[in-house]
Amino acid sequence: MNKTFDPEKKLYTLSLLVQDIPGVLSQVARLFSRKGYNIESIVSGETSQPGLTRITIVILGDELMVNQITAQCRKLIPVQVVKILDEETSIQREFAMIKVRAEDRAARDEVIQMANIFRANIIDVSRETLTVAIFGDKSKTSALIRLLSDFGILEMAKTGTLAIERGLSSIYDDSKLRTEYNYGKNVL
């Protein structure tokens, strides 16, 4: 129903701080599936605070839908913070390892050159293959993957997007309490 309000969809990055307890990742992911939202990527990892895990989720949606899922996520007891990060005030990165077929010298040289242009690293070499590791934003990794596919990608492992805010602001600024009481124009 929300879709009818705003047909314009774009990628949103949600950052969640959750208690590190069994099942918490599936609890969060389930909320998205039950609403019929597709998760583009999801990354979970430890934080500087013991017992707390940070989950970064990228979804394709409109503003209403993102606000609604944010409110729903906040209702989960193990979820402590949910923040919508925008591209301008946050840094977003992903990491990929790409195994490319490179059986002759010319191919190897070209792959290495390509890796250099993208400031990627060669992390494994064999007679038939090269494995390239790249770290960067989505457009950079996608561009390299596209170029390397000409050589034949044997396999690839890639993380989802990780995001962190620029400057002094952090996920710890935003407690459930503050956002719920924060009525600038709308509770959302």
Give the nearer residue to other proteins in terms of CB position, either 166 or 178.
Answer: 178
Verify binding: residue 183, other proteins, rule CB under 8 A.
yes
Amino acid at site 36: G
Q: How many angstroms separate the CA atoms of 46 and 54, rounded?
A: 6
DSSP letter (8 states) at residue 37: P
Residue with tokens 């990627």: 120
Cα-based distances in Å from 14 to 1, 108, 113, 146, 163: 22, 39, 35, 27, 9
x-marked contacts with other proteins along 77-116 as a string, rule CB under 8 A: xxxx------------------------------------
Pair of tokens at residue 124? 């494994």
The minimum distance between CB 34 and other proteins, in angstroms, equals 6
Give the nearer residue to other proteins in terms of CB position, either 34 or 105.
Answer: 34
x-marked contacts with other proteins along 21-60 as a string, rule CB under 8 A: -xx--xx--x---x--------------------------
Q: Extract long-range pairs of 45-51: CB within 8 Å, 24+ residues apart.
A: 45/162, 46/20, 47/17, 51/19, 51/20
In the list 44, 68, 121, 159, the residue contacting other proteins (rule: CB under 8 A) is: 68
Binding site for other proteins (CB under 8 A): 1, 4-5, 18-19, 22-23, 26-27, 30, 34, 64, 67-68, 71-72, 74-80, 175-177, 180-181, 183, 186-188
